[in-house]
Chains A and B, each alone.
Chain A
């Protein structure tokens, strides 16, 4: 494996200073479950690994005022075991239980899953329907970005070289409590999604008062299907309506063919996954 320097800063401020000075040469790591395989196959070759796992303030799940705050260092296993997350956003637990396998989940972090910016990122899809936003810091400034504006392309995000994620937040709300996530993979463990769909839904008197739909592995980035959402808003639920929405999902996704599945299959199956998730929430 390539050589690199290893630093383990103890505070956020120390980390931001390192990022400011070293820029592109430094790579922040936590669980290492993506970074080490990438170094091995020489996809990336960082000069310095900045291990941030010792920074306690970036860890844990809290309810602060009107926000649910998840530290980027929170592992996928910690998410699964969080009673607060179970109560406020069960959809995240569903996605976490589909994430890789129990061994990887003990190390992999939610922040790492987002910065890796895979089009298939299991945590990104439900966080999109939770309307999550990302808190970002550098030595220069602090800013917040909506998750749907965070991803730019496969492996690319709005993060600058000197910036890091310091929090992932969403509002505790009725619609965030009512979500459903489905992932289709070739097998249960360690599968990268062929397609995944998340739906959060609020129904009042058989009418859709609010709906959010997101999908993974069907576009260059995890996406919100805003066309489908607009089509469904304020409509009365019926089988006919769901069938129409399924077709709209199949039109709105922009998948490619790759080793896991063809474009046509992904288009078709994302509609089907949407239907399954929607029916779970309405039946």
Chain B
């Protein structure tokens, strides 16, 4: 099968790759770029573990063909920390013990940052509503919601 040349920015770095038409974005990110923070969960868009930010919006990388990200900008969990310092959302998750097995955590954190960009001061209901596509099978939702609330609240008072 003929390969396609694509060019995109991932975590601020420009990358060029040859991809097969049926390569999924999640597999390219994990297997070609070795960014293994994004997880392959259900593979059919039900669980949210593969969430990445595409041009700033959270999308499912298991339902995204690599060929379609040509010219676009991707952020994975590896791109959040700057200069060796964790992103405040990552700190909020740590502080609130919003991490159990960790499988859903990268996607939770990315979706949460997208929520706060859209709605800097969300209510608990709004957080739960926005986060509903990201599943935590350890069921640590209370701590996750608390972490996001704390981060939102903290930002407001700063």
Contact = CB atoms under 8 A, between A and B. Distances in A.
Interface of A: 1-6, 8, 31-33, 36-37, 39-40, 49, 51, 53, 77, 100-104, 106-107, 188-190
B67 A104 contact: no
Contacts of A37: 44-45, 63
Contacts of B68: 8, 32, 51, 53
B103 to A, nearest CB: 16
Among B1, B62, B64, B132, chain A packs the most CB atoms within 10 A around the CB of B132
A162 to B, nearest CB: 22
Contacts of B63: 31-33, 36-37, 104, 107
Interface in B44-65: 44-46, 48, 51, 54, 57-60, 62-65
Interface in B12-46: 20-22, 24, 43-46
B49 to A, nearest CB: 11
Interface of B: 1-2, 4, 20-22, 24, 43-46, 48, 51, 54, 57-60, 62-65, 67-68, 111, 129-130, 132-134
A32 to B, nearest CB: 6
Given A33-B63, A53-B68, A104-B60, A6 B133 contact: no
B21 A77 contact: no
Nearest to B52: A103
A40 B45 CA distance: 12
B113 to A, nearest CB: 13
A135 B116 CA distance: 38
A8 B4 CA distance: 11
B132 A101 contact: yes
A212 B129 CA distance: 30
B111 A103 contact: yes
B24 to A, nearest CB: 7
Contacts of B45: 33, 36-37, 100, 103-104, 190
